[in-house]
Every structure is written in structure tokens, then in C-alpha cells.
Structure 1
Amino acid sequence: MKVGASQVYSTNNVTNRAQREEVQNQKAENEKTGHKKETRRKTIFAGDLNVNQDLIANKKALGQKQAIKKILDAFTSELNIDNNVQNLKDQQDALRTSINEYKDKIKSVQDMKKGIQEGYGVSDDSQEQKDMDILSKAETNPDALTDAEKGRLKDLKLLIKAKDNPGLLTDKDQERLKDLNPLTDYQKEIIESNKMESFYNKKVEDANKQIESINQTVEAIGLSRLKSHPVLDAKKEAEDILKDTAKEVVGMLLNEAVEKTDKKLEDQTKTDEDKKDDGTQSEKKTEENAKTGDNSKSDDDSLNSIAQKQDKVMREIKKQALKDNLTMDDIKGIIVDEQS
């Protein structure tokens, strides 16, 4: 009986130490695992991200489209200006062609007047022709008229008024006409020819004014383009658009990374908490086992106490046997009786 109790006590001690060591090892392992998990949480793996590639591609495409449009708009604007300038120059060419045509008409009218003069046999130094020369001079170079020519010009204009618009004549005009000789047939034809010549001269004058106006416009456009650089400015704006687009894409990537990482950390935290709860349960269980071991130790103590009592009884038996001169066989018989 004494031998069996010692074996139970030794086995229980070993078991208790093993359980306590298991608890300590479990705590150390939990702390180590927690540190690794914490370290893992601080690391972001790009491979774990699942960024919406279509959204990013669309963003890049939109940025590139805007940048290209900016440059194309600038080129289109410049091309339109070039086209406008070319159109203006084409107008000048058309005006020059018209001027040449008008001059041809003027020459034809002048040739016609010479033919009329020859037909009527009017000499260059005749009064008829001098009157016509005064009218022509008044048209082309009025400042060169002498006082005498200016006086005669008034009479000639009154005669022309009486021919073309007799209803507009005043009483004063009527009185003045009585002192003037009427226009000759030659003069009437030359006056009509002069009207045609004046018409085409006016056309030439107006065309030249338009050509000059176009020249001023083209020069102003050229000066304006020298002061500005629309294409270069558009390229700079396009570069800025692409840079802003790249920043937005990076922002999208970072936001996606943050969202994915936060979700992963949240899931990892839940997993760690679950494992922690499992570890706590395991630790509690281990502690309960340890307490059970303590109970076993209490049982061992009780067994040891019984064994001590048995040893004491055996000593008392042996002591009594010596007094009574009993043999060992007699002592064994008493022990058997006691166990019974």
C-alpha cells in the first residue's frame, strides 16, 4: 500500500509540472503569434489589391481625350485663322482682278470718247472740247482747276442739271440758263460717256480701299499671333491635364488600397480575436486541469497521511511484538489481520 501511494504522488507531480509548462508555453506562443500578426498588419501587399482596372483605364482615356482635344482645338483655331487669312488674300486677288477689269472698261470708254470726238470732228482746242476737259479735270483733279475753270464748271453743271433733271431747276437757275448756250450733241454724248467712266473709276477706288483694309486686318492678325502662342499654351495645358489625371489615378489606387487594407485588417482583427478567445478557453481549460492536478495533489496528501498512519501502526505492532516475544511470522499474521 505504501509503495502504490508514492507512485501516484510522483506521477501527479510530473503531470502538474507538464500542465504548468504547457500553460506558460501557450502564453508565450500567443504573445509571439500576436506580435507576428501585428507586424503583418503593418505590411500592405500590392498583390492583395483588386483595383477596378476598367475605372482607371476610363479615367486615363478621358484625360488623354481632354488633352488631345485641347491641342486639336488650338490647331483648329490656328487653322481657322490661317483659312480666314487665306480667304482675305483670295478676296484681295479677286478685287485686283476686278480692278483690272474696271480699268479695261475705263480704257474702252476713253477710246469710245475719242471715237465720238472724231465722229463729230471736234478739235482739242475747241470750246466744246475745253468744256469737256474741265468736266474731266473736275472729276480727276479738282484742286488743279483755275478760277476761270471753276466758273465755267458751274455753268456746265447747270446745263447738265437742266438736261438730266429739269424739274429741279430753281427760278435763279432758269434766269442763268438764259445767258448760256445749250449743250451740243457732242457734249451730251461725252457727258454720258464721262458718267460711265466715273462709274468704273469709283469701282476701282472702292476696290483699292477694300484691298488696303484687308492688308490692315492681315497685319493685325500677324501681330496678334506674334504676341500669343496658342499651340504651345495648349500643349502646356494638355500636359497639365495628363498630370492631373495621373494624380487622380494615384488617388484612386491609394483609396482602393486603403479600403482593401482596412477590410483585410478588420477581417484579421476578427480572426485574431476569435483565436484569442480560443486561446483563453484553452488557457482556462489548462488552468482547470491544473486545478484538477491540485485536487489530485490533495488526494496524494491524504494518501501520504494514511501511509504515515500505517507506518506508525506497524511500528507500534513491532514494538508490542518485541515486548511479547513474538516471531516475524506472528507479525505478518497480525498485518494480514489488520488489512482484512
Structure 2
Amino acid sequence: MQIKNYSYFVGEDQVQNRRHSVSDGKNGKAKNGGKSIDARSMASVTDPIAAKKAQVRKKAMKIIGDAFAGESKIDDDMANRREKIRSLTGEIGDSAKAISDIEASRAALQDKFGVSSDSQEQKDLELLAKGVETGFSGSDVRLTKEEEEQIAKIKAAGLTEYQQQSLALKKSEESYVNELADARNKIQTENAVIRQTKIERLKSNSMGAAFEQADAVMGAASDEIMGMLIAEGKDHIDEKQEEEKKTAEEAADKKKELEEKLQARKDEKKEQEELTKDIVEAANKQAGGTDSVVQAQQEIKDMMNKLKLVEDDVKGAAVDQGI
């Protein structure tokens, strides 16, 4: 598999996640009823931005995974073809060894019959052997018209015992010659498929295209996620401003309430000062006699009732009968 120098990092988000998950401070798990709940696994459920990121990562990884699976399948096919070529090469070696052994037997037979290599008998045998080989389906040996006519004359004259035995051995090579030729043809086919696969792979560059497509998906999602973060930030600011406004209004209400209480205290104090003043003035009148004292006491009680005050609340306001 050939992959160009692409850098594709999907372990972290392209846009920083600003949300916080509930954590126990060590393993990021919230506890509920004695059971541990992984808050991180709930992020995609509670956080739309986290859910979007997870969805995009899954889509991008599927694109890359599909391309990788396709490339792996091609790699497996090419590996199988190379293994087949090795097996066929072994078959070629076995067939070639068998043919070589037969040729060695024919040479031994020549020695046995004492036939010289430059004798006419041997030359005629070689032509006859060539004719036999042209009948092999895996052989590319061909006879000329003159050679065919010469073979016909040799056969018409009759073959020697040596020639008959040697040709019999030659005919036994047929299966090995055919197997060797078949194996070579298959190897040629397998090599052609491998070469074409390499060419098509270079043309398509499926892994590179997959990474580019995944990057495009992640890039488009980043823009969308950024928009979601901006909207979230705006909502957060609006909420904060609303909270600050509410806090300010509550503070203003409390301030107003406090001012009203202070004003009420001031009014109450003023009323008490005026009452005290009136009491003092009424008490001073008692110097005119008993009737004056009784009249002063009655005036004090009338004022207290009027203001709905309890006599005990007015400290030192009682007038002693004996003064």
C-alpha cells in the first residue's frame, strides 16, 4: 500500500471544546447511587457541539477506513499473486529438472549404443526428436518444409533400436514441457496483473484522495462548529447581561427599601423628638397646681393614643404625681 505524506490528526477537536464535564477530579466520572457514570461518554448527548464533532470524526474516519480497506484488499490480492508466482516458479524448476533427467538418460543411452555425436544416425535422431517436440502443446518448436520431408524419408527407411528407445524417452518429456510452458504463461499473466494494479493505484491514489476528502469534511465541519460556538458565546453573554441587569435591579430595590427604612426612622425620630418636646412642655405646666398636673397628664395620654404609642415606649415621659 502506498500512502503519500499526509498528516491527518483526529484524536483532538479542530475547535477547542469550551464545555466542562462533571468530574470526580481523577477519572472524569460522576457518581450516582454508588455507581460510576463516565461523564465523557455523555458529552455527545448533552453537548450539541461535542455531538457534531463526534459525527464529523466518524464520517471522516469512515472515508479513510473504506479507502484503507480497499487498499488492504488490493494488497492481499497482490500478495496472493506473488505467492502464486513463487509456487509456479517451483513447478517450473521441477519440470525443468525432470526434462534434464530424461535428457541425461538419452545421453546415457547414446553411450550405451556407442553412437557418435557426428554420425548420421545421431543427426537423424536429433531431427526426429525435433519432430516429436513439435507435437507438444507447450512447445514452440516448428519444422520447415524441408525438415518435414527429411523426417518422412527417415521413417520410410526405418529406425534403429537406439533411435526408437531415445525417441520414446523424448516423448516422455511432453507432460513436463507442457507443465513448464503453462507455468510460465501463468507467471506472465500474474506479473501483468500486478504491474497494471500498480499503475492504476498510482493513477487513483485512493488513500491520498480519501485523506483530502476527510480533510474537506473536517474543514467544513470546523466552520459550522465555529458558528455554533459563536452563537453559544452570544447566548452566554446575553444570559450574563440579563443576570447582571437582574442583580442591578435587585440592588436598586434593596437600596430603595433601605432608603425608605432610613427615611421612616428619620420621620419616627422626628415624631419622637416632637413628642418629647410636647411632653416636656406639658410637664412644665404642672407647676400651676394639681389641676394643671391632671390636665398635663391627660394631654400626654391623648397624644400617645393619637400616635398609637404604648406608654412604656416613651422612656422618662411619665409625670410623677408628687412633683
Q: TM-score range by the shorter chain?
A: 0.3 to 0.5
Greater RCO (Cα-Cα under 8 Å, separation 6 or more)? 1
Q: Name the TM-score, length of structure 2 as normaliser.
A: 0.48
Which is higher, the Rg of structure 1 or of structure 2? 1
Instruction: Give the number of the structure whose residues are more often helix, by fraction.
Output: 1
